[in-house]
Amino acid sequence: MVAKVEGSGRVKGTPNRPTKLIWQLLEQRNFDPLVEMINMATDRALDPEIRAKCVRELARYVYPQRKAQMLPVEFTVDEANQANTARDILKRVAAGEITPDAGVLLLNTIDRIGHVVESMEMQDALNEWKASRPDAKK
């Protein structure tokens, strides 16, 4: 990747050529899409569904989009059997106690832990095998 030369390119916030052209066309026609959307949203003669779409779109400019909040989750951890833990999580998702997104995160975490445990067990087995060889250094 080529490093950006200091001072090259557009100044931050400067519109690109297509955006400039669009704004010029809108100004030539004395047309402001935001004003039009406000007019449509407040026009009681329009279909309520169209008005609702305008209001939703306008709200994006006024209110920040809220992010989902993750709440604490409780479930049974069966250290001897990860499948039982996964089943417990799935049951709680099905019952609506855990959101599907949180369930996916938990199941992925359990899967990753399983891979770590497998790797550790394989390393231990490899170390035991190496130690049991007659030519092993002691």
Query: How much is the pLDDT for 137?
Result: 65
Q: What pLDDT, on the 0 to 100 scale, is given for residue 98?
A: 86
Domain boundaries, the chain: 17-62, 82-132
pLDDT at 44: 94
Q: Where are the alpha helices (DSSP H) in 29-81?
A: 33-42, 48-62
Q: How far apart are CA 69 and CA 79, in angstroms?
A: 28
Q: Residue 14: its pLDDT value, please?
A: 85
Give pLDDT, residue 104. Answer: 92
**Quick check: helix, strand or coil at residue 75?**
coil
pLDDT at 2 (0 to 100): 66
Average pLDDT of each block of 10 consecutive residues along the chain (138 residues)? 73 87 93 93 94 92 77 74 88 89 90 88 91 76
Q: What is the reported pLDDT for 73?
A: 74
